[in-house]
Structure 1
Amino acid sequence: MSNGLSLADQITLELRADIIGGRLLPGMQLVENELVGTYNASRNTIREALHRLGQEGLTRYVRHKGVVVRRLEHDDIRDLFQVRRTLELQAIAKARPLCEYQCDRMRDAIEAAELARDREDWRAVGTHGLRFHQHVVGLLGSPLLDEFFTNVVAQLRLVFSSAPDEARFQAPWLLRDRQIHRWLVAGDKSSASEAMACYLDDSEHQLLSTFTPSFRH
């Protein structure tokens, strides 16, 4: 293939993108026969793609159901935020003055989230908000870390999708993203880092308090 990806690679990327976009939700079944028809692929290719998603922590096998989109638990949330602190705070600490395209990509993600908020599309608010944080990690200039963090974002998307009231969860974060962006543009890494650390602490605390023990199954 011209892009160097196998069909299984492409299907894996598309299914992951559907998770990040909130189109595949926790608990949804991924039925082999349906995916064979959707992607005009062999059953072995579909199984390979589903296996890769399982390795990325995005799906799991359930007896009598097959492969389903994964529901994350409290320990997973803590682990995800440990990774976020490591990468996002390091990215800010090591950031050089923002290039115009870096500034624009962050601003575009924030503005897309604000437009989604205005139309009360809270799922899209979460997706675009996560895109802003992907651009923060992108300041490290590492394609390998970008790819790794994309998988982290997909798992976070599954956590957000499981929130009992996603609107209530997503609403507070946009102003904080915009303020972090302002400090990064101004070159005030100390303020941006402090704000991001508080952001991540508060977000983790809210998620952990949102999900009751019944979420852990």
Structure 2
Amino acid sequence: MNKTLPTVQVLSLADQVACELREDIIGGRLLPGMALIEAELTSRYNASRNTVREALHQLGREGLTSYVRNKGVMVRRIGLAEVRDLFLVRRTLEIQAILGSKPLREYQSDSMLGAIEAAELARDREDWQAFGTHSLRFHQHIVGLLRSPLLDAFFTNIAAQMRLVFAVAPDEENFQRPWLERDCEIHDLLAAGRRHEAAEAMTRYLDDSEHALLDLLSHPARG
């Protein structure tokens, strides 16, 4: 009997370059306002200029880069309206993921705990840039509870845009430090099967995070 083999998606070189650049944004290695120079990228990725341009156009469509006249393509700065929209998306996905989740499987709990432990190590090293990245990884695992590859891919872009917003904090330690305890609380509530309490904790988390970031954007000199 013939069996249909699963389709394996092969990324184009442009997709691979875009993926690498997106991960550099999530990792805090590419910050708002940084120039993305074609010649440097073609050398780094051993790719043609057309391939690099296609990758940059893709990131532009995702809201991660923008073209600035006389300067070229740059990593985008995220504004107030976009921050509000990002948190609308985060509430929709993360809270639904929690409320619709089944009891945590071991691998799901391990993934969340891995992100928390990595954040703890970053905190101990006072590497607040890495700390913010690992916190975002935790929230990617929350969305992963929906078990949708399409939503996982979509939320990767949301995480990248959030990382660009974090860059507005002049004192990363002061901004990032409080969230670790709250990530732990959300994981522990999920692990205990207390979904509604976990959803309430996530709602408070997102409300407070949004207010803090909007305040930073509205009053940048406060840091």
Give the TM-score normalised by structure 1. Answer: 0.96
CA 1:98–1:53: 2 relative to 1, 3 Å: same
One of 50, 62, 70 as aligned partner of 2:76: 70
Point out the more displaced range, 76-85 or 203-212. Answer: 203-212
Measured after TM superposition, the shift of residue 44 of structure 1 is: 0.6
1:119 positional shift: 0.7
Matching residue of 1:50: 56
Q: Secondary structure at the match of 1:28?
A: coil
Indicate which of 195, 198, 201 corresponds to 2:204.
Answer: 198
1:37 aligned partner, one-letter code: S
1:87-120 deviation line (CA, Å, top 9, x unaligned): 0000000000000000000000001001101110
Q: Quick check: 1:85 aligned with 2:88?
A: no
Match of 1:136 among 115, 139, 142: 142
Q: Which residue of structure 2 aligns with residue 126 of structure 1?
A: 132
Counterpart-to-counterpart distance in 1, 2:64 and 2:156: 12
**4+ residue stretches of structure 1 with deviation over 3 A?**
none
Inter-partner Cα distance in structure 1 for 2:121 and 2:46: 35
Aligned match of 2:179: 173
Q: Which one of the candidate residues 198, 210, 213 is aligned to 1:207?
A: 213
Task: Work out the number of aligned pairs and report it.
Answer: 214
In 1, Cα distance between equivalents of 2:175 and 2:140? 19
Aligned equivalent of 1:20: 26
Q: Tell me the distance in 1 between the aligned counterparts of 2:120 and 2:135.
A: 9
Give the AA of the match of 2:181.
Answer: L
Which has the larger displacement, 65-74 or 31-40?
31-40
> Any stretches of 5+ residues in structure 2 without a counterpart?
1-7
Structure-1 separation of matches of 2:141 and 2:152? 9
- Where 2:145 maps in the other structure, the secondary structure is helix
Between 65-74 and 163-172, the greater mean CA deviation after superposition: 163-172
Displacement after TM superposition at 1:162 (Å): 2.1
CA displacement, residues 30-58 of structure 1 (integer Å, 9 cap, x when unaligned)? 00111111111111111000000000000
Percent same amino acid at aligned positions? 67
- Write the letter of the residue equivalent to 1:34: E
Shift of 1:212: 2.8
> What secondary structure sits across from 2:73 in the alignment?
strand
Match of 2:3 in 1: none
The answer for the alignment partner of 1:100 in structure 2 is 106
- Give the letter for the 2:98 counterpart: I
Q: How far apart, CA to CA, are the structure 2 residues paired with 1:41 and 1:156?
A: 28
RMSD: 1.3
> Which deviates more from structure 2 when the two are superposed, residues 160-169 or residues 145-154?
160-169
Q: Given the superposition, is the C-alpha separation of residues 106 and 26 from structure 1 closer, same or farther in structure 2, using an over 3 Å criterion?
A: same
1:186 aligns with 2:192: yes
